[in-house]
Amino acid sequence: MDVNWLQVLVNSAVTGSLYLIASAGLTLIYGLCKFPYFAYAEYIALGAFIGYFVSEVMGVSLSGAFVISFLVVGAIGFLCYRGIFQPLARRGATIIHLMVASVALGLILRHLIPVFGDIFPVLEWSWSPSYFTADWAAFNLGSVRITGLWAWTVIAAIGLSIALHIMLTKSKIGKAIRATSSNPNLALASGIDVQKVIWITWSLGAGLAAIAGIFRGAETQVWPNTGWEMILPVFAVVMLGGIGNFYGAITAAFIVGLAENIGVVALTALGLSTSYRIGIAFIILIITLIVKPQGLAMLFRRS
């Protein structure tokens, strides 16, 4: 079998970029609130649907879709925390309670999407897949095929990394997020309004998921499982990167992306269906948990 390894690398960079955008917010939320927030996947789906509605149904530009989706899902993220998880935590809920609540919330959100579509037919939200119609010109760079969407995904991931790095190390709120994440009581003792920091992080995190949702929806399809389909790689990236460690997540996203794309080559060579590729993220997740539960955090101490 002839494998274009350069193409595999490019594909890995694209996959990694998408995973990075999809996990950046979750790792910040996870780092702050210390429980696996499964409903995060639904922010990805919601982002895809809202983006689809704005750009395809209403006919606003795609960039408009990114902005509106980011804002709306960011607000939803805030409401989820303020309405559900903050009161639960205040009543002394343990990690298990919060996790189960997040699974339930995820199911509800996912199934509410088509319900909303039924109530408001104008949204065109349903279980049957919709597709972004934007025409992404594909071009060849030597032997490598690249589409405009891929290029934008990588550019967005790079932009996001730089923006988050600056925010986390230079801005007051960014430093407060890192401080609160490592020691909430000491953050309070420093006069930081920890509750506000959590609100901002949840909104920002949900908004980032929405952006990932549009990229994913444009690459594949928009349906209520758009987010759920990504939950394994997203959690694999967060765990491998070290919970709450943004720099670890960048590295992990590209490791998972590379592993998946090499996995696709291997699956093809073995004559197996490439739909098993999702198992690769699962394997990485399991191995991380068994071998090094703290993930790559050892490499990036300044988290």
Partner 1 sequence: MKPILVAENVNAGYGDVIIVHDVSVEVSAGEIAAIVGPNGSGKSTLIKSILGFAKLFQGSILYHDKDITGIPSHRAVNLGIGYVPQTDNVFPNLTIAENLDMGAYNKRGKDTIKTAKGDIFHMFPELAAREKALAENLSGGERQMLAIARAMMAEPKVLLLDEPLASLSPKPSAMIESKLEQIRETGIAILIVEQNVKKALELSKRGYVLVNGALAMRGESASLLADDSFKERFLGLEQEH
Structure tokens at 162: 């730089």
Least distance to partner 1, CB of residue 239, Å:
18
Least distance to partner 1, CB of residue 184, Å:
10
Report the C-alpha gap between 92 and 86 in whole angstroms: 10
- Binding of residue 238 to partner 1 (CB under 8 A): no
Report the C-alpha gap between 110 and 116 in whole angstroms: 10
Q: Which residues contact 108 (CB under 8 A, 6 or more apart)?
A: none
- Binding of residue 186 to partner 1 (CB under 8 A): yes
- Binding of residue 183 to partner 1 (CB under 8 A): yes
Q: In whole angstroms, what separates CA 101 from the centre of its chain?
A: 19
- Is the CB of 163 or the CB of 298 nearer to partner 1? 298
Binding test (CB under 8 A) with partner 1, winner from 63, 128, 185, 275: 185
- Binding of residue 67 to partner 1 (CB under 8 A): no
Binding test (CB under 8 A) with partner 1, winner from 34, 82, 165, 175: 175
Per-position x/- string for 191-210, each x denoting binding to partner 1 as judged by CB under 8 A, each - no binding: xxxx----------------
Nearest to 45 by CA among 231, 244, 285: 231
Report the C-alpha gap between 100 and 78 in whole angstroms: 19
Considering only the stretches 17-25, 33-41, 62-70, 182-190, report the one whose residues sit in contact with partner 1 under the rule CB under 8 A.
Answer: 182-190
Least distance to partner 1, CB of residue 123, Å:
41
Binding test (CB under 8 A) with partner 1, winner from 187, 214, 250, 253: 187
- Binding of residue 121 to partner 1 (CB under 8 A): no
Structure tokens at 45: 């789906």
Least distance to partner 1, CB of residue 191, Å:
4
Taking the alpha carbons at both ends of the chain, their separation in whole angstroms is 43
- Binding of residue 158 to partner 1 (CB under 8 A): no
Least distance to partner 1, CB of residue 299, Å:
13
Distances (CA, A) of 96 to 20, 43, 54, 182: 26, 21, 37, 21
Task: Identify the three-state secondary structure at position 140.
Answer: strand
- Binding of residue 269 to partner 1 (CB under 8 A): no
- Binding of residue 118 to partner 1 (CB under 8 A): no
Report the C-alpha gap between 214 and 111 in whole angstroms: 19
Count Cβ atoms below 10 Å from residue 4 Cβ, excluding itself. Answer: 13
Considering only the stretches 45-53, 171-179, 264-272, 284-292, report the one whose residues sit in contact with partner 1 under the rule CB under 8 A.
Answer: 171-179
Least distance to partner 1, CB of residue 301, Å:
6
Nearest to 237 by CA among 258, 247, 252: 252
Check residue 146 and report its DSSP letter.
E
**Residue 128: is it exposed, middle or buried by C-beta count within 10 angstroms (0-12/13-18/19+)?**
exposed
Least distance to partner 1, CB of residue 249, Å:
14
User: At residue 144, what are phi and psi to the nearest 5 degrees?
Assistant: -105, 135
Least distance to partner 1, CB of residue 297, Å:
9
- Binding of residue 294 to partner 1 (CB under 8 A): no
Residue ranges binding partner 1 (CB under 8 A): 169, 172, 175-176, 178-179, 182-183, 185-194, 301-303
